[in-house]
Amino acid sequence: MPLTIRTKSATHHFTVEVAATPEQQERGLMFRHSLASDRGMIFPYNPPQDVSFWMKNTLIPLDIIFIRSDGTIVRITHAKELDLTPLPAGEPIAAVLEIRGGRAAELGVKEGDIATWSH
């Protein structure tokens, strides 16, 4: 599924897998050895929820991007591979986007930027 992040200076395009079911959300990007720079996974929540993520069995570092219902990015965390420390959203969110670790900084993606996708 296409997903776009609009920053103050550019628009960035990703192709994301959707983790829609509880089983898909539990597995996420576990056991993968790489993730292309324009790929990711989106975890939708309807209704919005205050969720936490961790990196159990996740072999690559990820940027975890928490997104409000209006598409506003509320928080970006940088998760280390295999780290079991919970990474909370801090508020009810409509989706979580996982992309390759460090990619948000490379693109200049910041809190307050807007993510859009078909949902």
DSSP string, 2-22: EEEEE-SS-EEEEEEEE--SH
| pLDDT attached to residue 3 | 98
| pLDDT attached to residue 118 | 87
- Given pLDDT bands bounded at 50, 70 and 90, which one contains residue 1? very high
- Pair type for strands 11-18 and 39-49: parallel
| pLDDT attached to residue 85 | 96
pTM metric for this prediction: 0.96
Q: For the segment 19-53, what is each residue's pLDDT rounded down to a tens digit?
A: 999 999 999 999 999 999 999 999 999 999 999 99
| pLDDT attached to residue 84 | 96
Is the pLDDT confidence value at 18 over 90?
yes
% residues pLDDT > 90 (the chain): 98
Domains and CATH numbers, the chain: 2-117 (2.60.120.1140)
Tokens of 115: 């993510």
Per the prediction, the chain carries an average pLDDT of 97
